[in-house]
Amino acid sequence: MSTNDLKRLAPASDEAARRATDGLVARASEDGLVDVALATMDSPVGELLVAVTRKGLVTVSFEDEPRDEVVARLARRVSPRVLEAAAPTDAARRELEEYFEARRHAFDLGIDRRLIGEFAWSVLRATSRVGFGELATYGQIAQRIHRPNAARAVGRALGSNPITIVIPCHRIVGAGGSLTGYAGGLPRKQTLLRLEGSLP
């Protein structure tokens, strides 16, 4: 068999392997063997990694966070049964797409908070009440959780938010309205706030 013959066979072989993999993933999902499903999606702020469990959305992370670190954290703190499987993430990815197209102003997704500590959860819960197109300061969030002197701790909690965008830590700004302290970087924060009409 010639080299050209092998090249012609390779795409079919690759396609067969892809179908087999898809079939295994679907079967694993149906049999309840996938505790954490992962998929990626394109967005105006770069590629996002979306992870869901049966309880809900557990992670939305930016592309500059190493994927193997995200997967290792999920395996360690949620379940070792982590698998790339797009279908379980469809609802989350669809709502994110609608958000980026300015057709969605609030998310209707369940949240799996197993990557979020108790104090951080109180901060992120208060942050979730800051609506589309609105801003709040770190100090205001500290007041809302009845910890008026904890603005810095609020900032640290927001910096560790594992469910970026959906839990909108990008809407929290410094006391004078300065765009500080976004784990995804200030250009992403600016992009999100412009999308929401909070920045010119």
Q: Which of 96, 169, 192, 195 is catalytic?
A: 169
Tell me, what's the pLDDT at 27? 53
Tell which residue, 77, 76, 88, has the closest CA to residue 39.
Answer: 88
Contact status, residue 33 vs residue 81, Cβ threshold 8 Å: yes
pTM: 0.83
Dihedral angle computed from the Cα positions of residues 178, 179, 181 and 182, in that order, rounded to the nearest 10 degrees: 170
Tell me, what's the pLDDT at 178? 87
**Type of residue numbered 139:** G
Tell which residue, 176, 174, 175, 15, has the closest CA to residue 189.
Answer: 174
Helix-strand-coil split of the chain, %, nearest 5:
45, 15, 40
Catalytic-residue membership of 142: no
Q: Which residue has the higher pLDDT, 9 or 102?
A: 102
For residue 57, give the 3-state DSSP assignment.
strand
For residue 153, give the 3-state DSSP assignment.
helix
pLDDT band at 1 (very low <50, low <70, confident <90, very high): very low
Model confidence pLDDT, tens digit, residues 120-134? 999 999 999 999 999
pLDDT band at 7 (very low <50, low <70, confident <90, very high): very low
